[in-house]
Each structure stands twice: as C-alpha cells, then as structure tokens.
C-alpha cells in the first residue's frame, strides 16, 4: 500500500517536469508505483474535459489551458505579461485549471482553478494563461493570489 501523503509528495516531485505526452507520464507513474507497491499497478490519466463530460460541473466560459505559450520565469507573478486590445470591448468568460502557488507556511504546492468573467477591453487569452502560470513558484495562499489577479486585471 502506498500511503496518501507519500503519494502526494511523489506527485508533487514531478511538478514542472516536462513529458512528451500523457502516455509518457502514465508509463513513468506505472513504473514508479509498481516498484513502490511491489506489484504491477495500472495507471490511466483522464483529462478534466473527460471528467466534465461525465457530469462534474465545469467552470464557465472557455478553458485556456491548451494554448501554446512560453514562460521562462516562475519566480513571481508577472502582470506585465497581460495584454488586451482596448479597441475591442467584449463580454467573455475564461478559465484555467493551472493556477499553482506554494503554501507560505509549509511550502507545499497548492493547485487550483481560476475563472475570469468580465466586460471590457478584449483580454488576450494566451497572455492571461502565461500570467497565471507565472505564479508557479510564488508563496501565497490562493485567496491572496486570486485577489492579486483581480487587482492586476483592473
């Protein structure tokens, strides 16, 4: 039996580790967990889209997680990454499941989802995703992170 806290720590050790695809991640998990359990372990990773199709409530609007972005710094949130087109006024909802910060007390990773619903200058979705991902090494509670996102988007 693999204890849940150990499993969580193992999964968190993979943070920011690039994998070629989902199958590569599944193979790594299968190999490592089988070794730890002493028996063959099956692993199947399901996307949030798959889970949402099964009736779990989805966040409003468009998910921006699959946009092609490049972020080279995770040291602190970078509001300068945010871009908008002031010539286009829109009403839209965007969301991401990739918000991650570190607990300021334990330094453990804290993952979450964030939804942005607004009316105003058209926000570039890729710039919003890059901004959200820039929180990766930031130490703060998600409540403060969301407040900061709100203020940076004003």
Q: 75-94 in b/e burial notation, b at 16+ Cβ within 10 A? A: eebbeebeebeeeeeeeeeb
Q: How far apart are CA 7 and CA 31, in angstroms?
A: 14
Tell me, yes or no, if 110 is annotated catalytic.
yes
Catalytic member of 110, 124, 140, 152: 110
* Nearest CA among 100, 97, 128, 75 for reference residue 15: 100
Tell me, yes or no, if 21 is annotated catalytic.
no
- Catalytically active residues, by annotation: 103, 110
């Amino acid at each position: 039996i693999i204890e849940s806290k150990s499993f969580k720590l193992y999964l968190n050790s993979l943070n920011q580790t690039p994998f070629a695809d989902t199958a590569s991640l599944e193979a790594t998990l299968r190999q490592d967990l089988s070794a730890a359990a002493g028996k063959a372990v099956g692993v199947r990773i399901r996307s949030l889209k798959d889970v949402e199709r099964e009736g779990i409530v989805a966040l409003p609007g468009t998910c921006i997680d699959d946009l092609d972005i490049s972020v080279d710094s995770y040291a602190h949130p970078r509001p300068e990454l945010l871009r908008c087109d002031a010539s286009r006024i829109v009403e839209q909802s965007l969301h991401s499941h990739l918000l991650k910060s570190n607990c300021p007390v334990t330094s453990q990773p804290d993952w979450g989802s964030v939804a942005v619903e607004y009316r105003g200058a058209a926000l570039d979705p890729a710039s919003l995703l890059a901004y959200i991902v820039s929180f990766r090494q930031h130490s703060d509670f998600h409540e403060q992170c969301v407040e900061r996102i709100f203020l940076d988007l004003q």
